[in-house]
Amino acid sequence: MRSLISKSRDSLGQRPAWQTTLYAALATFAVYTCMYGYRKAFAAAPYSKVDFLGISYKVWLVSSQVIGYMMSKFYGIKFIAENSRKKRAITILVLIGAAWAALLLFALVPAPYNIVFMFANGFPLGMIWGLVFSFVEGRRTTEFMGAVLASSFIFASGLAKSAGAWLMQDVGINEWWMPFATGALYFVPLIIFTLALEAIPNPTADDIAQRTVRLPMNRESRRMFVNTFWPGLVLLMVAYVLLTILRDFRDNFAPELLAEAGLAGGSAIFSKTETPVALLVLGMVSLLMLVRNNYRAFMLNHIIILAGLLLAGVGTLLYATGAISGFAWFLATGSGLYIGYIPINCFYFDRMIATYRVAANVGFVMYLADSFGYLGSVAVTLVKGFVGLHISWVQFFSIALYVSVGVGFLCVAGAMLYYHRKFKTKIDQEKCCNNLPS
């Protein structure tokens, strides 16, 4: 098997760059789509016949999984940053296999004792993004590959929930066994696509010259990175936390939001609402690949994030005034939130590292941001589910969105100004050094 993968890697390395890029993009998309089959299918079930301590059972399950996912992100700050990129494919399969085993125990153990297995499901899955993205970062075409990978967040979530709903409605599998059964549908494709991922060639010399070499980061290098960029990182991460909260809330409670918006329907409703969002976001953000200048592309990332925030906010305002339908509102919020979320999640930090020519990797800084993002997601889920706010899902989501758009806009604009000044200072220092007598 290793020999076959090595031959495939060598063969791909000799093909035109566009073919290698397309192959890598599709492989990462496929693997991450398969991962979502083990993470999001359970969200298609209402679990309305059971509650625990007077709280909706689905709130317990969502909270348990997101807590596991959040803790994985904190662990991943070190694990992904120090990853030597050996045996990545095997690690992906082992982690997803552990998550699938947790879904089996979730089905076998009765409520409420099976809540803990959603935690066990979320923890290993939180490491998958960093492992998958490490195959495509630091390349001239990272934006395109990252955009394709990121579109899987949207498409795959809808597909997993549609698959879960189909298993319950058409096949007759109950809501407890449905998540494990959905994983069985994805099992063979997962193995095939993960092996395909392993065959992606390493970055070329031109990639390294354009985007810098990506290296594992020990504790000291991580500390130096944060000390160098902390003001911009803090501002950007506040905005990212807010985007993560809204995106995750919309994703986890999509059935409830859709039902209140008058869009409850068959198993295909999730794919119908999310696939157009995926295509729009993919087309828009992948265009950054055409911008070769790293500084300009880095600044454009901020503008795209700001545009996404505005789209989500304006769409919600129009829906509240009755100017657009519930379907248009759900598309607008999905498009806006993902247009803001995906650049940060996939290639914002890739261009940042290339702009300032620092020895680092995207995995470290992304997991640093993700850990706080999911901490915020957990907090909001707990407040809505456990504190007992007596407002509808749509009202809660809308209020949170208005606040987040306002705060997030100011933070992203502030980060853009900070990084602009830091780059100008860097250029001035380089000019000064070049003018020194030798």
For residue 434, pLDDT beyond 60:
no
The residue ranking higher by pLDDT, 391 or 101, is: 101
Tens of pLDDT, residues 41-78: 998 888 888 888 888 888 889 889 989 998 999 998 88
Whether the pLDDT of residue 388 is over 70: the answer is no
What is the identity of the amino acid at 213? V
Domains of the chain: 9-424 (1.20.1250.20)
Lowest-pLDDT range, 25-34, 69-78, 246-255? 246-255
| pTM of the model as a whole | 0.77
In three state form, how does the secondary structure of 280-339 look?
HHHHHHHHHHHCCCHHHHHHHHHHHHHHHHHHHHHHHHHHHCCCCCHHHHHHHHHHHHHH
The residue whose two tokens read 């579109």 is 151
CA 153 from centroid of its chain's CA atoms: 6
Report angle CA 295, 298, 299 to the nearest 5 degrees: 90
Please enumerate in sequence order all residues whose Cβ is within 8 A of that of 319, keeping only pairs 6 or more positions apart, or say none.
325, 326, 328, 329, 332, 398
CA dist., res. 130 & res. 74, Å (int) = 12
Higher-confidence residue of 1 and 48: namely 48
* CB neighbourhood size of 94 (10 A): 12
Residue with tokens 């994983």: 183
Confidence of residue 436 (pLDDT cuts 50, 70, 90): very low
Residue 181 pLDDT greater than 80, yes or no:
yes
Q: Out of 5-14, 279-288, 294-303, 390-399, which region has the weakest mean confidence (pLDDT)? A: 279-288
Q: Could you read off the pLDDT of 413-422 as tens digits, one per residue?
A: 999 999 999 9
Q: Which residues contact 200 (CB under 8 A, 6 or more apart)?
A: 9, 12, 20, 23, 24, 27, 135, 136
How far apart (Å, rounded) are the C-alpha atoms in residues 301 and 405?
Answer: 17
